[in-house]
Amino acid sequence: MTSAVLWAGRLGKKPEKEAFAFQSSIDIDKRMVLQDIAGSRAHAAMLGKQGIIPAETAGLLDAELERIAAAILDGSLIIDGDAEDIHSFIENVLTERLGGAGRMVHAGRSRNDQVAVDFRLYCKEAVRAIEGALNEALNALLDTAERHAGSIMPGYTHLQRAQPVTLGYHLTAWACALKRDAGRFADALRRLDECPLGAGALAGSGLPLDREATAAALAFPRPTLNAMDSVAARDFALELAAICAIAQTNLSRFCEDIVLWASEEFKFINLAEEWSTGSSIMPQKKNPDFAELIRGKSGRAAGNLVTLVTLVKGLPYAYNKDLQEDKEALFDSFDTVENCLRMFAGMVRSACFDTERMRAACMGGFLEATDCAEYLVRKGMPFRNAHETSAALVRECIDGGLSGIAALPLARLRAHSPLFDGDIFAALSPEACVAARQVTGGPAPAEVLRQIALLRGP
């Protein structure tokens, strides 16, 4: 019974089983069952208030929909996989249970506005869950960064050691990207937060619907402005898929760093055993699979975005059945990003860092050369000359087999520039180089702590 179609009055024949299953969406849209019920409750109550259906019928519908939701939640009502979609299923259950009253619920609406409202409600909840996971990941990064605000490590460009920074600074850089992802989700939510219910198939309704009332009942600040836009638009889904793809791409970069750091060559990070896996053949292996998998899943998020953009491109207004394909891709992006963020948070929190090895990696590669040039600039030398002087010192060290500019005696330094004094040696340690870079946004520990405090704020 629950697999009865809503359009049987027009078409005497149903597609054969396989064809019917092909066009059905219940496997995907059953995830929106509670949103569908909430939408129907708001709609039924409004129909009653507006006198479109008898008040007692509205009451019956509301009570039954509440029972249906409870039965879904406690598992006593199983969603029929043979139904066409979740909207048909719920309407059919209502009609099975209430008879004539159930047949009144669809006045003034279409599955086109129904699916639009369900989808938006679902997105709002999914984004809230992702925001929770984003916060978990952000806090894991910021807590670790705070502990390591003074832990010296090399910063890289071109994957070559560039300048000394701190682990706290590096992790805070990741946190900045996550914070922007959170901002993007919040922005997108504000735009999609309008209620399409009452838009009907595409042209609203001649019945005296109160769209403000259903919007308010469903906690939307307002109804959508234009009924045709309400059922045709999916830019909210594209936007969310894009944000998921961006967030996942950010994660993939953090994870790439982690994979590198976990290698024997770097050995900066020691991932917890619970957050690593072994090899079936090589007994010695401890692999950063979690980081690799998070990195790999960015492909899925990017793919889902391409799926959605391609799906919507060139669709004529208003609703087309193509749009039924939108949910699977976006739901997959939601699941992927939320799971990856939670996994990332756990992996980061449990990791240990070899701070001695990180500091040691700052030695011998002339990472102090920029700071040496800036020392000369502070003493009045034009930067281009200072760059040349520092470069000449680096070459002299390399030729003489010395591992750092500070290994040269003061007389040699002064032979390059009389601006060098005894204070140069202390200025070239990695700690001094980092401490000097107190500029806004820089890696000096106090400055990084300021950045962390801001990132913890709203």
Distance CA 138, CA 165 (A): 20
- Given the residues 24, 279, 280, 298, the one annotated as active site: 279
Distance CA 427, CA 445 (A): 16
Distance CA 131, CA 355 (A): 31
Q: Which is nearer to ligand ARG, 26 or 246 (CB)?
A: 26
- Shortest distance, position 312 Cβ to ligand ARG, whole Å: 13
Residues 93 and 2 sit within 8 Å (Cβ to Cβ): yes
Residue count of the chain, please give it: 458
Q: Which is nearer to ligand ARG, 229 or 289 (CB)?
A: 229
- Shortest distance, position 339 Cβ to ligand ARG, whole Å: 24
For 99-120, give one letter per residue: b (16+ CB within 10 A) or e.
Answer: eebbebbbebbbbbbbbbbbbb
Q: Which residues here bind ligand ARG, judged by CB under 6 A?
A: 25, 29, 85, 111-112, 115, 319, 321, 323-324
Q: Which is nearer to ligand ARG, 79 or 415 (CB)?
A: 79
- Give the distance between the most distant pair of CA atoms in the chain: 101
Q: Which is nearer to ligand ARG, 114 or 163 (CB)?
A: 114
Residues 196 and 224 sit within 8 Å (Cβ to Cβ): yes
- Shortest distance, position 266 Cβ to ligand ARG, whole Å: 48
- Given the residues 43, 148, 158, 298, the one annotated as active site: 158
DSSP string, 206-217: SS---HHHHHHH
The tokens for 61 are 């519908």
- Shortest distance, position 97 Cβ to ligand ARG, whole Å: 22
Main-chain dihedrals φ then ψ at residue 81, nearest 5 degrees: -65, -10
The tokens for 361 are 């990696």
Long-range residue pairs from 177-183, CB within 8 A, at least 24 positions apart, any chain = 177/250, 178/134, 178/137, 178/138, 178/141, 178/247, 178/250, 179/138, 179/455, 181/134, 181/243, 181/246, 181/247, 181/250, 182/131, 182/134, 182/135, 182/138
The tokens for 441 are 């946004």
Distance CA 103, CA 96 (A): 10
Q: Which is nearer to ligand ARG, 118 or 257 (CB)?
A: 118
Distance CA 441, CA 177 (A): 14
- Shortest distance, position 85 Cβ to ligand ARG, whole Å: 4
- Shortest distance, position 442 Cβ to ligand ARG, whole Å: 51
- Shortest distance, position 343 Cβ to ligand ARG, whole Å: 30
Compute the half-sphere exposure of residue 40: CA atoms within 13 Å on the CB side of its CA.
33
Q: Is 43 a catalytic residue?
A: no
Q: Which is nearer to ligand ARG, 261 or 319 (CB)?
A: 319
Q: Which is nearer to ligand ARG, 9 or 401 (CB)?
A: 9
Q: Is 151 a catalytic residue?
A: no
Long-range residue pairs from 435-438, CB within 8 A, at least 24 positions apart, any chain = 436/371, 436/374
Catalytic residues: 158, 279
